Structure 1
Amino acid sequence: MNVVETVMQLSMMSMIGMYGIFSNTIIKALTATSKGAAAMVEINQVILNPLFKVIFFGSALSALYFFIFKEGGLAVAGILFFVGTFMVTVVKNVPMNNRLKAASEQGDLETYWEEYASQWNRWNHVRTLSAFLSGALILMA
């Protein structure tokens, strides 16, 4: 294993914490407060910073690399991570984030919030589990 591949693995494994903290803490805290929906809209804007983008997209590219160029556990970790985190984000979580933002702009935030929090977190659990299992496979490889 070379230094570049180690950094690639770390980028993937760092996402375990990102997804996990939302599943375990942030969404629960936001749904317990009357300003949770507005706070989530703000979080969705703030999180799209350069560091997050490098790690998020870097981890997805790393996962594809491991799937295409490695064998065994690393290849499985790569496809599991790519589909279970990146694709779920693109197909499920981001569209919900966009709808939440639109609801905020239309003054209809609270109407969508309960559905959003439940569905968004359900898909975030998928991302968390996928990242965790990928990390375990990386460690065992």
Structure 2
Amino acid sequence: MAMLLTVLAVMGCGLIAGLFFAFSTAVMGALGQLSPAAGITAMQRINRVIVNPLFLGVFFGTGALCLLLMVMAVPWRGETFWLVLGGASYLVGSLGITLICNVPLNHRLAHVAAESREADIVWADYRERWVWWNHLRTVFSLLATASLALSL
């Protein structure tokens, strides 16, 4: 059972890492080439669309699997280090950064009028900060994927 749960967690971490990687390497760069009004409008739409049962199930379900695997890792076995590192990386670096850093930025952007005078400044600041946090959660999600895979 632990092996199946670990495989599912590896798959979930990999999916989330891939999503974050796509945003870091393509999506945000493309949105940055649009006018601030168009970029803001597109990102506001993305932020609404991504809150769906499939994404939320994978995102939070993977967190639940990581937490369960970390609890199951006690008593300490040989693969415990990798399970704990992988689980903690996902919980802190993917879920934590998302909820504490990226989501609040998204909420602030949701209240910006795309055609407002300050849209240029808000959009530039948002992209810089959001992408930095996204790069970090990409790295943590990849670390989680690799660590959990090594535990197998």
Identity of aligned residues (%): 30
Unpaired segments ≥5 residues, structure 1 = none
Give the TM-score normalised by structure 2: 0.85
- Please report the RMSD computed on the Cα atoms of aligned residues, expressed in angstroms: 1.7
- How do 1:52-71 and structure 2 match up within 5 A? 52-70=55-73, 71=80
* 1:79-118 Cα distance to aligned partner (Å, 9 max, x none): 0111001010000000000000011389454331100000
Amino acid at match of 2:110: K
2:50 corresponds in structure 1 to: 47
Q: Which has the higher helix share?
A: 1
Amino acid at match of 1:122: W
Question: CA contact under 8 A between 1:12 and 1:62: conserved in structure 2?
Answer: no
- The reply on whether 1:7 has 2:4 as its aligned counterpart is no
Unpaired segments ≥5 residues, structure 2 = 74-79
Query: Given the alignment, which residue of 97, 111, 119 partners 2:121?
Result: 111
Q: Which protein shows a greater Rg?
A: 2
Distance in 1, Cα, partners of 2:23 & 2:91: 19
Question: RCO (CA 8 Å, sep 6+): is it higher in 1 or 2?
Answer: 2
Amino acid at match of 1:53: L
2:149 corresponds in structure 1 to: 139
Which stretch has the larger CA shift, 108-117 or 31-40? 108-117
Question: CA contact under 8 A between 2:40 and 2:114: conserved in structure 1?
Answer: no
Give the TM-score normalised by structure 1: 0.92
* 1:2-31 Cα distance to aligned partner (Å, 9 max, x none): 434322331122111011101111111100
Point out 4+ residue stretches in structure 1 off by more than 6 angstroms: none
